[in-house]
Structure 1
Amino acid sequence: MAASEKKLKVAIMGAKGYPYVYGGYDTMIKELGERLVAKGVLVRVYNHRALFPEKPKFVNGIECIYTPAIETKSLTQLTHTFFSMIHACFSDVDVIFVVNSGNGPFGIISKIFRKPTAINVDGLEWLRPKWKGLGSKYFFWASKMATKFYDQVINDSDEMRRVYLELFKKDSKVIAYGANPKESVSAEPILKWNLISRGYYLIVGRLVPDNNADLIIEGFLKSNSDKTLVVVGDVPFADEWAIRLKNIQDHRLLFTGYVTDPNELAALYSHCYAYFHGHEFGGTNPAMLKALGYGCAILALDTPFNQEMLQNGKHGWYFEKNPMAVKSLVEKAESQPEKLENLRQTARLGLTQKYNWDYVTEQYLEIFQKLAKD
Structure 2
Amino acid sequence: MTTPPAPALLILGTRGLPADHGGFETFAERLALFLVARGWSVGVYCQDEVETVTERFRSETWRGIELIHVQVATRGPKATLDFDYRCVRHAAERDAVSLVLGYNGAVFLPLLRLAGRRIITNMDGIEWRRPKWSLPVRAWFWVNEWIAAWSSHHLVADHPAIADHVATRRSRSAISTIPYGGDPVTDAPRAPLAAFGVEPGRFLVSICRIEPDNNILTIVEAFSRKRRDAKLVVVGELRDDNPYHRRIRAAASADVVFPGAIYEAGIVGALRFHARAYLHGHTVGGTNPSLVEALWAGSAIIAHDNPFNSVTAGADQSYFRDADGCEAEITRLLDDDAALDRARAGARRQALNFTWTDILEAYETMIRQVGAPHVPVRSAEVAAARLGSGASRTSV
TM-score after normalising by structure 2: 0.87
Residue-by-residue CA offset, 1:10-29 (whole Å, 9 max, x unaligned): 11010110103211111111
What's the counterpart of residue 101 of structure 2? 99
Q: Please name the residue that 1:7 is paired with.
A: 6
Aligned to 2:364, the other structure's residue is in SS state helix
- 2:336 aligns to what? 336
| Residue 244 of structure 1: how far off its partner (Å) | 4.7
Q: Measured at CA, do residues 236 and 118 of structure 1 come closer, stay the same or move farther in structure 2, by a change above 3 Å?
A: farther
Match of 1:131 in 2: 133
Aligned position for 1:286: 289
Cα displacement (A) at 1:363: 1.3
Asked if 2 retains the 8 angstrom alpha-carbon contact of 1:96 and 1:118, the reply is yes
Contact kept? 1:182, 1:293, Cα under 8 Å: yes
1:202-253 Cα deviation digits (max 9, x unpaired): 0001112211111111111114423111011227997443355346553111
- Over the residues paired in the alignment, what is the CA RMSD in angstroms? 2.2
Q: 1:41 to 1:247 in 2, by over 3 A?
A: farther
Task: Give the aligned residue type for 1:193.
Answer: F
Please give the residue correspondences for 1:229-240 in structure 2 after superposition, counting only pairs within 5 Å.
229-234=232-237, 239-240=242-243
Distance in 1, Cα, partners of 2:343 & 2:91: 46
- Inter-partner Cα distance in structure 2 for 1:255 and 1:20: 25
User: Quick one: which amino acid aligns to residue 143 of structure 1?
Assistant: E
Matched, 1:326 2:329: no
The whole-number CA distance in structure 1 between the counterparts of 2:74 and 2:238 is: 16
The reply to whether residue 41 of structure 1 matches residue 40 of structure 2 is yes
DSSP 3-state at the match of 2:224: helix
Letter of the structure 2 residue corresponding to residue 290 of structure 1 = E
Structure 2: runs of 5 or more not aligned: 51-57, 374-396
Secondary structure (helix, strand or coil) at the match of 1:192 reads helix
Aligned pairs for 1:185-196 (under 5 A) are 185-196=188-199
Partners in 2 of 1:244 and 1:50 — Cα distance?
33
For 2:169, the equivalent position in structure 1 comes to 168
The residue identity in structure 2 corresponding to 1:276 is: L
Equivalent position amino acid for 1:347 in 2 = A
Q: Distance in 1 between matches of 2:91 and 2:247?
A: 42
Where 2:193 maps in the other structure, the secondary structure is helix
Letter in 1 for 2:121: I
Residue 220, structure 1, aligned to residue 262, structure 2: no
Tell me how far 1:132 sits from its aligned partner. Answer: 1.9
Q: State the alpha-carbon separation in 1 of the partners of residues 238 and 78 from structure 2.
A: 17
Tell me which amino acid in the other structure corresponds to 1:160. Answer: I
Letter in 2 for 1:28: F
Give the CA deviation at 1:287: 0.3
Per-residue CA deviations over 1:153-172 (Å, capped at 9, x if unaligned) read 1000111111121x324321
User: Residues 204 and 231 of structure 2 are in contact (CA less than 8 Å); yes or no, is this contact kept in structure 1?
Assistant: yes
1:102 aligned counterpart, secondary structure: coil
**Distance (Å, rounded) in 1 between the aligned partners of 2:114 and 2:26:** 30
Displacement of 1:65 in angstroms is 0.9
Deviations 1:80-113 (A, max 9, x none): 111101011112x320110112132222011110
Amino acid at match of 2:145: S
What amino acid is aligned across from residue 318 of structure 2 in structure 1?
Answer: W
The answer to whether structure 1 residue 77 and structure 2 residue 80 are counterparts is yes
TM alignment of 1:1-374, pairs within 5 A: 2=2, 5-50=4-49, 57-69=60-72, 71-91=74-94, 93-165=95-167, 167-171=168-172, 172-234=175-237, 239-246=242-249, 250-311=253-314, 313-314=315-316, 316-320=317-321, 322-353=322-353, 355-374=354-373
Amino acid at match of 2:363: Y
d(CA) in 1 for partners of 2:225, 2:111: 53
Deviation at 1:140, TM superposition (A): 1.2
Of the structure 1 ranges 179-188 and 143-152, higher mean CA displacement relative to structure 2 is found in 179-188
Moved more, 114-123 or 231-240: 231-240
- Supply the AA of the counterpart residue of 1:305: F
TM-score when normalising by structure 1: 0.92
Q: Name the CA distance, whole Å, in 2 between partners of 1:23 and 1:155.
A: 18
Q: Distance in 2 between matches of 1:84 and 1:240?
A: 36
Deviation at 1:266, TM superposition (A): 1.4
Write the distance in 2 (CA, Å) between the matches of 1:135 and 1:96. Answer: 26
Stretch deviating more after TM superposition (72-81 or 364-373): 72-81
Read off the aligned partner of 1:125 and give its amino acid letter: E
- Aligned partner letter, 2:28: I
When structure 1 is superposed on structure 2, of 148-157 and 250-259 the one drifting more is 250-259
Instruction: Determine the C-alpha separation between the residues in 2 that align with 1:50 and 1:96.
Output: 23
Q: Distance in 2 between matches of 1:103 and 1:363?
A: 25
Q: Summarize deviations over 1:175-224 as a string: whole Å, max 9, x none.
A: 11111211221322211222101111100011122111111111111144
User: Structure 1: 5+ residue runs without aligned partners?
Assistant: none
The residue type equivalent to 1:22 in the other structure is H
